[in-house]
Structure 1
Amino acid sequence: MSSASKKCLVISNCQAQPLKHGLTWALDDFVVDIHGVHTTRLADRAEAHAKLIANKYDYSFVLTTPLSDKFGVLATDQIVKAFDPIPVIFITNIVFTGLHPDVAYIGQMGGRLQGPLGDYHSLIAALAFASGFSGHEALRLYQGNTYRFLGYFDECEKSFLELRRREQSVDIRFEQEIRDLIRDGTCFFSQNHPSSRIFVPYIDKIAGYLEARGLARKSGWHMDVNIVPNFLASSAIYPIFPEIARHNDLSFEGSYFFKSTSVGDRPGRVYGLEELVRLEYEAFSRVPKEGFMALPVVKDSLAKFGNAAQWPR
């Protein structure tokens, strides 16, 4: 960092790292610090937040996603006052379940059941297991009638409406751009991991907003999705099922191939649907059956949809 460099702070979740790198390239002579709210232990939050506030004059501005009251002084209704007079700009936490409605978390944050895709699980596999289906029987559930019954085909528009609702409280919105981008390429690796196809225009829009407000200047470098790395691609990648791709009129056909997390130079594995379900069943079997049935996502989904044996075929 040169003595002339300016600094800004990005407060976000797993999207903080791609934002850091992209904004460093998009802005002229800026060092971007990040605070990942998802990596800070609950016991350490107060101290970590106090340190950020104590160092606020290091930053020209702060970019933050809206945060709930559990984040103390970083919560949406407190952070502007906490960082005053440093400008605070609210950006979107891009979450879009519309193309990955089958992704489910099993267990509470910090204690989630781990499977072949880490935190990510197939809701259909979980409900088939809870319904007493064999792995072979579970495979037959991955088809259009199931998706229609579970509401998967309705999730895309619901996600756009939810994104629009959440963006009412931010300064830089991106819902319309996602609508325009989503048909012609992979925009999400999972519901909360956007691809560079999303990040590149989003970061460019943020940089343009900052320049218009006189808070920064754009570097002039033209970022391209083919040359901007995205660290989230190293995490698990959940496919867009072919039936969901066709229903939403995507220009590509989707698949049933799942990629596990890559660690350093160790590539992740690619699983077909049959192997994925088998490994999911192994993960589910590590939980006592009574405890598995009591897990909120399993219990609530069974109450809503019933035993998988009753689903339309």
Structure 2
Amino acid sequence: MEEKMKIAVIANCQTQAISNYLRIITGCKEIVNVPVHMFGSELYLKALGSLKSIVEDENGIIFTFNLSERFGELETTNLKKIAKAKVYSITNLYFSGFHPDITYLGSMGKRVSSPLGDLHSKIIITAFTQGLDVNEAKNSFNNETYKALGFYEEFESSKEELFARDANSNIQFANEFLALVTSKHALYTMNHPIPEVLHKFACKLCEHTGIPYDNYPSEFFNNYLSNATWWLIYKEIAEFHGLKIQCPMLFKQPDNKGGNVLSLNEFIVRSYQKYEDVGAHVIRDAFKELGC
């Protein structure tokens, strides 16, 4: 790897992990992360400043999610036109087929928090807004509820969305990604992959662009995403889709929110406490905005 090569990764919460993997396997000393999920923040604006030197560098390589015009100067079509660097659109590693219960409450930057950070359970919110007690909410985690809420259909819907995004990317990874997530517990949540996924993705980026790299074992890599929420796949959903894994009904908080492992009962109790603090009307209104 020549020292003059510069790389930028424009992505969501995955950007730091992808950049770290690229740094290790390529030896590139200058990699810029641009976290678009933090659009407008101080960190985002600082990253934009660092990105400019790569955009103007003919030896630079930029990997970016396909971004719309709402991201201003980072709109992918525009970036490809103005950059002297080579710009490659890449796949957003998102698949909700095994995590259909997860939802956000509130718009970006105005999220209502839960015991698991920004992530909420649709089942728990539904139970809370319907006035069910904790035991009734717990008993709602069953096959009938999953059917009624369309959880089993989420797999095909998310798969179609994944391949549609992939078709518009210069570097395609949907087949490899889906093969991994349907063979093992490869996602902490719908958009937080385990090290093996990120490692193979980083190698694919290098192979496509001709960047020399060393293929270290994926187990060696630190994954920043593992510090966030762990939401294990519900047994019935795994069985329905033929995923041969066994998972306890447990949830891990993000490390910066305590990092504790919660039972389903604890998750419900703490969620109810949060929602009561915020106000039932606020939760109902935010949930309605999601179309639920």
TM-score, length basis structure 1? 0.86
| 1:272 corresponding residue in structure 2 | 263
**In 2: Cα distance, 1:155 partner to 1:138 partner:** 22
**In 2: Cα distance, 1:244 partner to 1:117 partner:** 21
Gaps of 5+ in 2: none
Closer, same or farther: CA 182–166 of 1 in aligned 2, 3 Å: same
Correspondences of 1:111-150 after superposition (within 5 Å): 111-150=110-149
Correspondences of 1:277-296 after superposition (within 5 Å): 277-296=268-287
Matched, 1:225 2:218: yes
Closer, same or farther: CA 47–270 of 1 in aligned 2, 3 Å: closer
| 1:8 corresponding residue in structure 2 | 7
| 2:228 corresponding residue in structure 1 | 235
- Report the Cα offset of residue 186 of structure 1: 1.8
Secondary structure of the equivalent of 2:291?
A: helix
Tell me which moved more, 250-259 or 52-61.
Answer: 52-61
| 1:261 corresponding residue in structure 2 | 254
For these two proteins, the number of residue pairs brought into alignment is 291
| 1:209 corresponding residue in structure 2 | 208
**In 2: Cα distance, 1:15 partner to 1:267 partner:** 21
Secondary structure of the equivalent of 1:300?
A: coil
Aligned amino acid, residue 271 of structure 2? E
**In 2: Cα distance, 1:30 partner to 1:142 partner:** 48
| 2:108 corresponding residue in structure 1 | 109
Aligned amino acid, residue 162 of structure 1? E
- Report the Cα offset of residue 296 of structure 1: 4.2
- Report the Cα offset of residue 34 of structure 1: 1.3
**In 1: Cα distance, 2:46 partner to 2:261 partner:** 40
- Report the Cα offset of residue 46 of structure 1: 7.4
**In 2: Cα distance, 1:230 partner to 1:279 partner:** 27
**In 1: Cα distance, 2:122 partner to 2:17 partner:** 28
| 2:71 corresponding residue in structure 1 | 71
Aligned amino acid, residue 212 of structure 2? R
**In 1: Cα distance, 2:182 partner to 2:43 partner:** 42
**In 2: Cα distance, 1:297 partner to 1:96 partner:** 23
Aligned amino acid, residue 100 of structure 2? P
* Residue identity (%): 27
Matched, 1:163 2:145: no
Closer, same or farther: CA 48–201 of 1 in aligned 2, 3 Å: closer
Secondary structure of the equivalent of 2:248?
A: coil
- Report the Cα offset of residue 57 of structure 1: 3.0
Gaps of 5+ in 1: 302-313
TM-score, length basis structure 2? 0.92
- Report the Cα offset of residue 53 of structure 1: 3.2
**In 2: Cα distance, 1:43 partner to 1:21 partner:** 21
Aligned amino acid, residue 62 of structure 1? I
- Report the Cα offset of residue 243 of structure 1: 0.7
**In 2: Cα distance, 1:9 partner to 1:185 partner:** 30
RMSD, aligned α-carbons = 2.3
Higher Rg of the two aligned structures: 1
**In 2: Cα distance, 1:116 partner to 1:277 partner:** 9
